[in-house]
Structure 1
Amino acid sequence: MWSLIVAIVIGFVAGLIARAIHPGEDKAGFFVTAALGIAGSLLATYGGRFLGLYPEGSSAGFIASIIGAIIILFIYNLIAKKS
């Protein structure tokens, strides 16, 4: 449970940093960016566990969370441009 809370908090900050790093114009607001960052952090955490990079019960690191948030933000922008 604690690792999930840590992943959410790290993801919130990672989403803000990912938005600053990600090139292009973002039309996503603050809350959408934070949610995408949290999703990226959870992606990095559970994806890393699935690949064997992290032991069970640990969360992804800060850099991995930022990378996950950038990936989610990139996918979000591709979907948002089509609609």
Structure 2
Amino acid sequence: MVEWDETERAWMLALQTYETARKCPVCGMDITFCHDQEKVHRAFKGADVETCFVGEMREQAMRRFADSGEVKAPNSQTTKLNMRNG
């Protein structure tokens, strides 16, 4: 078990406060930027669609699990990536 001293706990609480109050839960950027339409349009000309293959693998696992009929709490399920050996 890791024990943090008072200073470390204070730093972690400060980080949590910053992330909760300043970071957008959708994009992870500072809300003073991403919630300002003019700033966003000045900075970016648009967006491209890309595939996160880790996310795709997780979605496939969840789909197989859902199709198995074993799902009791669909909003509480998560996935774990399994490393290949070798």
Please, what TM-score do these two structures have when normalized by structure 2? Answer: 0.29
- Answer 1 or 2: higher relative contact order, Cα 8 Å, separation at least 6: 1
Per residue, is there more helix in 1 or in 2?
1
Please, what TM-score do these two structures have when normalized by structure 1? Answer: 0.29
- Structure with max Cα Rg: 2
